[in-house]
Structure 1
């Protein structure tokens, strides 16, 4: 499924894509090129990008939902359309026949005359800088840009609000009831609900799916106290005023709430939901389980015997391991504790929480559907660790971090994914991840080198053991012995298997040194190819 650039809709169909910039357009939109006239330019150069004439816009499904930004009427006649700014759509006749002089309610003293300037001019209405054409009063130094010059007295958008909004001119500022930010001069009022909002907020989407929340969120002009137990925006962590507009989760018991401008700041992070039915379909997809079949359940309703997409045998629920062994979850590669599913036919284990991971999940940083897969040997695009087990396939490389919204505390994905506890032969107890050390000078008990007390480390409070995180975990902590490195992903002609130790210390086929660390060994019995894991990765 791809979101196309022109219609902003997700479609399951063939599409055209530019490999250089990832511009994409589906076949339906591409076939509309016969309606375009690329060589016909408007009489007035009012826009910073070239404009395209579309003679029959009503023949294009995606344009039926828009209105002319000048007269706000439906796009029945020929229009000018900007491919760089899809919101800039204006009737051809509106642009070609702009009046040279207008009387405007914002300035009763004198008429306003149409003018042009190559430099930016400050619009007295929207309080923003604009270039090119505008209406002005040279006596009073009063300027308004074209979009502010002609405003509809009544605007109705049933998708966002059940009543029409009426234009309300103001001499001063106001606080918008839809987004809780300040506005000037131009406002619209609902005479039945008595809410005053910006013009741009009339068309706020009522329902959106935000990439950083599992459920759809709804726009409301006010919230009641009983609807929320927490009132901080989950993006900026500042207070959300309950008597102003915000987006909040529609699921009962969920306290997710965000400011309007916070959640709509980046259109790559949300999807507009047009109908309630679409919202229900998205919710059903978000809870689709990776458990393919439930065979048995207990009295509490828990699945005690299941089939899971990641394993060929049935898995059985247990509250703990029968024997105290050094065993990791085959899904996340972290140590097994309590509540696991295990295979009675082979050594395969999964945390209960790992078996319940959704099959499809929305990517945090884009509106992309990520699918859960079970891989043998793969590099995570976020933390750059080589891992085996569960992966969400997203695509693309990422260089980012996680930052606290209330202070400057920042974590890279490598540190964010460090296990809270780990085992090492240096200590009989589980070593815990520790965040601070009051001692001025410290040493690692594994490599015996000095350790920076400001950096995280693993420690045992019982034995006073402390060690570098990399010394405890090794270079490949999230890889399982026997994981398969497909020949499609490296230069050797056969599949390779990962092992933490090599029998007999053979020589590396790449660097010629003895293999005393993690190795990759050819799966083909007649091939003697053995290489240090790090040597093979350098070749990829």
Structure 2
């Protein structure tokens, strides 16, 4: 028995016992394991529960959770990847009912939930009509807006409030009053008038009506000419470089595909960084930021977002405020979903009186940071938010993993590199196989965004080179301690000079 289903281009064959199919898998409709009766295409490894395949799903419906527009049934996400259900907030990849204009999506289980208007709900508690949902089969798991605890059992849902949250102060926006909104049809950015015109946020520029600052669709070029290099760069989608230690000249991290490279020079550039526009606006700063036309690899700069020294590409503000930001931070937006925390984090500009939940440093009042808005008292400064998830330690053959959990084991509360105490609540890097623990700075180094081998001019007769010492570490000429990891070294034959990065200023 075969059926032609809207979600697949081949006929689906009835499978009485899915265990006899070529490969077990998930139902592409509800994303639950396929067992027992099902329909499938073994050629494409596409399977549906019998019940999911026989659901009478209308190609277009008018749903009470989104009364403004009809929802269209799609076999998969319209965004080219995973989808986010607007009701239960779960990520999914199966069937979806979608409003393209509003980016409103419901996966099938939530679309089929029955609800009724709660006629007797007191207006003093909420101004809009609420939907009463009696049975949601544990599909909906967001936190209750009132008590901040996970939803369990019947609940009330407001379809009017779902999207209108100010992206600056993260309080509700009453759209019956004046407000600012992004004119792009599929963008939900909205802000209170007082928030959008705050001097810390707005640079005073008034956009003409109809002004469009969006960037068109990028064509993927196999060969490009970049302003930071003299020769043409060719695109590599897969494979390795001849030198496994190659670093991207844009971000200074180890190179990985896809990337652009120069055949004549050891110049590498990740594809994402090669395609950055000349000018960008960013939530970290109120003025327009510009990528300079050229890059001096001997020059070092201070990132005003993550507060680290860097040597790669950067965006700069040319409005006399000396703001610079490296491209790691430039790729972050005003929201962050980080594995360290269960809730979405939002960028906040005023952080006076708060501390970072990773390193416990006090945040400056003018510094930007990511904050949880669900009464969790959880904050991340940009430096900790941009930490790599893995790091390497010379005495460990495994990568160390960035670890967020409380460490109560006294025997592990020391750093295996510097041999100093670790605080139990602070983040650290850890190898579970070898039981190695390192401070954050000990694992990533003082110069995580410096390219090894580059030469710098400092308070020394000769240029010094950025090196990474692993074995036979020489002593620092300033403090006398061994220069483990990254350091500055003079490679002139008659000179025996090595210094810690942190000790360089004492050479004056």
Q: TM-score scaled by structure 1? A: 0.47
Q: Which entry has the higher C-alpha Rg, 1 or 2?
A: 1
When you count strand as a share of all residues, which structure comes out higher? Answer: 1
Q: TM-score scaled by structure 2? A: 0.49
When you count helix as a share of all residues, which structure comes out higher? Answer: 1
